[in-house]
Structure formats: structure tokens, C-alpha cells
Chains A and B, each alone.
Chain A
Amino acid sequence: MITAFLLRGLDRRALVFLAVLAAVAVVVPLLNLATPAGSGLHIPSYAVTLLGKYLCYALLALSVDLIWGFCGILSLGHGAFFALGGYAMGMYLMRQIGTRGVYGNPVLPDFMVFLNWKTLPWYWHGFDQFWFAAVMVLLVPGLLAFVFGWFAFRSRVTGVYLSIITQAMTFALLLAFFRNDMGFGGNNGLTDFKDILGFPIQDEGTRAGLFVATAVALGLGYLIASCVVRSKLGRVLVAVRDAESRTRFLGYRVEMYKLFVFTLSACMAGVAGALYVPQIGIINPSEFAPANSIEVVIWVAVGGRGTLIGAIIGAILVNFGKTWFTGVLPELWLFALGGLFVAVTLLLPKGIVGTATALWRGRRWRGPAATGEGTLAESGGDAEPPAAAPAAGPAAPERAS
């Protein structure tokens, strides 16, 4: 059953994407490690880290797309799940420092010694084991999403209301993690990591390894998301997105479906955060900032919501743009980002991939309303929102009032 389920997710688009990703995962570390620094083919280590960061963001964008594009849940707090995953990994990395910290305490991280703490708080126990941290990377964001979603979806908080309270959630976490007595390093967060699974974290080999791990995680995430949206459950999700109340009258417990996909998505975001932290070398409360979470949404919107590949493309494109802008014209970056928000929502509501697909299938997409003969291609893995009359733009999938 599971095999059949996984095979269903592998449509042509998924295969192409996974092949490209696999190629990147092999070629980039190879060009980094196996070519001399002066060679024209050499990829410097900082670029490997940068690409790794993009892939983490892509996984985060994928998780947002899964709920927003396919189920109409616009979470403005997904950065919180990302950050929680990151903190779980950060705690493992902190425990690995051991006596190499400034204060040389074998158990307590430096900031606790600095705060004059005598013992490790209970929630730090177990993080010296990688497997435990790995479980927590999934469990903590998943649990938060489950509890939050259970409350929110059961009482039918939808649309912008949900968006606003997800934003409040990440804001509350931001404030909480700023506090020193939370035991997560307060303002400074967790940093000065030394090694991961015994490999020095600054090593080129380790960095290449982390890059490959991120690519694998992204591939897996894509595969899982693709399987989910191509299953009957995926069709229920789209049904919920387009007509929530109708779905309910068909006997589907909408809140359970939302809860499932929200929790799954939070776990994916957590993994993205966990891979992000060792590559960037720091996790601090600013990752919880509401602005970060909203930025993720624009990556998805740029790429094309409701198309999994679009989220990945959007994340990489926007972040590449950010890197370029902040390097060349830093003061213009916020104008560019703000303009992107406005332009995409006004002019490109289906995003790059959605618009490209619509153009590709040009006649067929314009067709249904006019000729009534449109068909959804059997190979179409992603359920694009339908194009309505051109003047009205695409039908708004949200049903929030």
C-alpha cells in the first residue's frame, strides 16, 4: 500500500525535479572538494553554504505551499516551526561543545554558566544524543502545530483570522525566546558550535555533507508532499480550500484534514530549520520574527502557490535576489521585496510556475469556460487553481469573509 502510495507521487514533474536535485547534490560538493581553489569550475565553500541555505528555505517554502496552496491555510507563523526545529538542532550542537566552551563547563552551555545556573534545565536533557535531537526536530514543531491546529481548526478559525493568530503565535514565541530565563540563550541564541556527529562543523567536508543532507531532505519532502497532494486526501484538501463548508456536508471532518496537513507541514519546516542551523552556525530569537514568516509566503507566491515546484523555485529565486541586492544595493532591498509583494499579488497571482503552466496549456486553460471541453491532464501532479474569466483574474480560493 505504501509503495503504491509513494509511486503515485512520482509523476513526470517529480521525476525531473528529483533528477535535477540529485545532480546538484552530487555536482556541487564534487566541484567544491575535488577541484583546486583556482580552477574555473571550483565552487567555493561559502557558496556551498549559501546554496545549502537556499535549499533549507526551499523546504520551508514547500511546507508553506502544502498548506496554503493546497488547503488554503495561510500560516504567517511557519517561521516558528522552522525556528523550533533549528533550536532543537542548536541544543544538540551546544551539548557537543562540551569543555571547549569559554567557561569549559562539560555539561552547561556557556550562557548558562554566565547566568550562574548550576544545573541543566530538564528540557535540555537528552540533547547530547543526536537521535534524540532528531526526534525532537520533528516532534516539537509537530506537537505545537498539532495543539495549535487542534484548537484553531476545531473552532473553525479560518482565513485571515487564522493568519493573524498564527502571526500572534510566532510573536509570542519571539517574546518568550528573548527571555534569558527561558534557557535558550536569550537574545544571543545558540551559537559557537564546534562539531556535528563528531565532524568539525567548519570543515569543508562537513559542509558538503550538510549540503547533501539538505538536498536529500528537500527531495524527500518534495516526494512526500507530492504523494499527499496526488492522493485522494490531496483532493479533499483542495476541496476544503475551494469550498470548506461543502466538504463538511459530504461528511469529511475538515478539521482533521487540516490538522493532518498542518502538522505534516510543521514537521517539514522543523527539518528545514534543523538543517539550516548547522550551516549558518547560529539560531536566535529573530528567526521567530513575524516578518520572516510573511517573507516565506511571498517566496511561495512568486513561484506559484499550489504548485510544489513553484514554492522551491520561488524560494531560491527570491533569496538569490536578496543575496544580490543586499550585496549591491542594500538600501533598496526592502523596496524590492515590498514591491514584489505588491506586484505578485496584483499582476502574477498564479506565480511564475502557475502562469507558465497556464501559458503552456494555453488553449486548454482558457478552454473550459468557453468550450466546456477542458480536461485535467492525467499527468498533472499539482492542482493549479482554475483560471476563471480573464477579467476577474483567478478565482480566489479563500473563503474567508
Chain B
Amino acid sequence: MTLQVPAAVPLKAGDTLLYLDGVSVSFDGFKALNGLSFTVAEGEMRAIIGPNGAGKTTMMDVITGKTRPDVGEVYFGGTTDLTKLDEAAIASLGIGRKFQKPTVFESHTVWDNLDLALSGPRRVFPILFGRTDAEGRRRIEEILETIRLTHRRDALAAGLSHGQKQWLEIGMLLAQDPRLLLVDEPVAGMTDAETEETARLLREIACDHSVVVVEHDMTFVRDLGVHVTVLHEGSVLAEGSLDHVSADERVVEVYLGR
């Protein structure tokens, strides 16, 4: 291990927040991840691209504890071994995740969705007897403002449009106030205007959070203007600015197309 940062010391911008080394996962002989190694620094925003089956979603599953790696190390904040924790514990550590398919609680209102996501107690009895305090309500209002859903606060999430659901989910991530956000294809199925808006939203978020975005949409990735990691067959093919990786022969070969 190359990391010696003790957990107690707060990370400075530029220090490694997320660290994956030699992670492999296989399903029935198919290697979804194959010796994947990469790091994300505190405060960084990173885009991950790659063809279907490159292992992007599996990588997110591994980071969030949904899938256990067969081999390899996954560390968060320097010393926390994520492979030993479950989803809830990892979420409580400050890793938020947005799914590819927008997953919001459809039978809850927009407000309740955010209220559930709001950072705070997660244990059964405090939740049973507790109520969201004024500070919490203020934060929800704030987030509603950010995701432009204030006027829909009492609507059922089921009634939102596709783009609104995506935003609501991003809003839920904000309410969680995580140190690291994992965002899986946030603009899939969005109109161009919505896509632009989402890019703006993510950049805003990236000001005070580390973000990993998985995306297919090259325009969107260009809009974000961040470092790009290209995955292929479960490992890193290239890394650098979008222009840099676009120039890479192999990336063009497997992904961008000639």
C-alpha cells in the first residue's frame, strides 16, 4: 500500500480520497473487472467512459459495497477498507450513489425523498420517534432550489418527468452530503437543454464534493471539462484529459470509433 494517511488527518485537496488497486470481479468466469486500479483525489471530479461491458457499473458496485471484489484493495479516505463494509455503512461514511436508471421513491413526495436522504441519524429508534428539525427543513428547501423542484415539493416522485427524477436523485445525493458522489449516466434519456443544465448542476456540486461520473455522452463529458478515465474489459485503458485520451489509438479502436 502506498497510502500512509491516517484517518484522523483531514485530507487536503489533492490527497487521495478513493483508492482502488488490482480489483478483479468475475461472474461465472466472465471477468467484469480485471486488475482495475485508479485513484480519485479529494475535491476532484472524474469522468469514466468506456464501451458497454467495460465494467463501469461493476466498479461502482464494488465501491459502494454491493459487490465484493474477488481480489484487490479498495480504500476510502486513506485507511477505511471498503471491502469489509456493507452498503449502509459505506453510505454513512460519505459515499453517495446515483443509479443509471433513476431510482427515487415513487410513492413518496419530492420533499419526503429528500427528507429520507438528508444526512442525520439512520438508526431505527431515533428514526421512529424523531422529526426533521428546522435546520434540516432549511437544507431541503435549499436543495429543492438547487435542483429546481421547489414548485413540485409535494408532488409524488412517480409523477415527475424523467429529467426531474434524475435531478431529484442528484438532490438526494446532495442531501446525503457525501464526500464522494458516484453518478452513473446522469444524462441518459435527457433533452439537450436538460443535459446542459445537469452538467452545470454537477459542476456546481463538484465545487465542494469529489465526484465520479460515468457517462457515454461525449458532449456532456466535454462540457464537464474534467480528467477522463477510459475503462476497457475491466481495466484502465487510458487516463488524462478528454483530448489526450481521444488521441489514444487504442481508445479510438475500442470505443470512440474511427
Binding site for B on A (CB under 8 A): 1-2, 4-5, 228, 231-233, 235-236, 238-239, 242-243, 245-254, 256-257, 260, 367-369, 372-376, 383-386, 388, 395, 397
Contact = CB atoms under 8 A, between A and B. Distances in A.
A251 B91 contact: yes
Interface string B104-139: 111111001001110000111001111110000000
Contact of A368 (B86, B112, B132, B159): B159
A264 to B, nearest CB: 10
B31 interface: no
Contacts of A395: 106, 158
Nearest to A2: B129
B160 A372 contact: yes
The 5 closest A-B pairs by CB, nearest first: A368-B159, A251-B91, A248-B87, A233-B128, A251-B92
Nearest to A259: B124
Contact of A374 (B66, B87, B130, B159): B159
Nearest to A1: B129
Nearest to B176: A250
18 contacts: A1-B129, A231-B127, A233-B127, A236-B127, A239-B108, A245-B87, A246-B99, A250-B91, A251-B88, A253-B88, A253-B122, A260-B128, A367-B159, A368-B158, A374-B159, A386-B106, A386-B156, A386-B158
Given A1-B129, A249-B64, A383-B108, 15 more contacts: A228-B128, A233-B128, A235-B105, A235-B115, A236-B116, A238-B108, A247-B116, A250-B117, A251-B88, A251-B176, A256-B123, A372-B159, A376-B156, A385-B107, A397-B107
Find the residue from A2, A232, A372, A395 having the highest chain B CB count within 10 A: A232
Contacts of A386: 106-107, 156, 158
Interface in B130-162: 130-132, 152, 154-156, 158-161
Contacts of A236: 116, 127
B105 A232 contact: no
Contact of A235 (B96, B97, B108, B160): B108
> Main SS of the interface on chain A?
helix
Interface residues of B, number: 40
A243 B155 contact: no
Interface of B: 64, 66, 86-88, 91-92, 96-97, 99, 103-109, 112, 115-117, 122-124, 127-132, 152, 154-156, 158-161, 172, 176
A239 B88 contact: no
Contacts of B122: 251-253
Contact of B131 (A232, A242, A249, A376): A232
A178 B108 CA distance: 46
Nearest to B160: A372
A232 B128 contact: yes
Nearest to B66: A245
A386 B158 CA distance: 7
Given A248-B88, A251-B92, A385-B107, A368 B155 contact: yes
A242 B107 contact: yes
A384 B106 CA distance: 11
Given A232-B131, A232-B132, A246 B161 contact: no
**Which of the listed residues A233, A238, A251, A257 has the most CB atoms from chain B within 10 Å of its own CB?**
A251
A297 B128 CA distance: 26
Contact of B107 (A2, A232, A238, A375): A238
Contacts of B108: 235, 238-239, 242, 383
Given A374-B155, A374-B156, A242 B106 contact: yes
A376 B154 CA distance: 7
Max chain B Cβ within 10 angstroms of own Cβ: one of A228, A246, A253: A246
Nearest to A306: B107
B98 to A, nearest CB: 9
Contacts of B158: 368-369, 386, 388, 395
B127 A249 contact: no
Given A235-B108, A256-B124, A257-B124, A375 B154 contact: yes
A268 B128 CA distance: 18
Contacts of B107: 238, 242, 383-386, 397
Given A235-B116, A249-B87, A251-B91, A5 B127 contact: no
B182 to A, nearest CB: 9
A375 to B, nearest CB: 4
A243 B159 contact: no
Contact of B130 (A232, A239, A254, A397): A232
Contacts of B64: 249
B116 A250 contact: yes
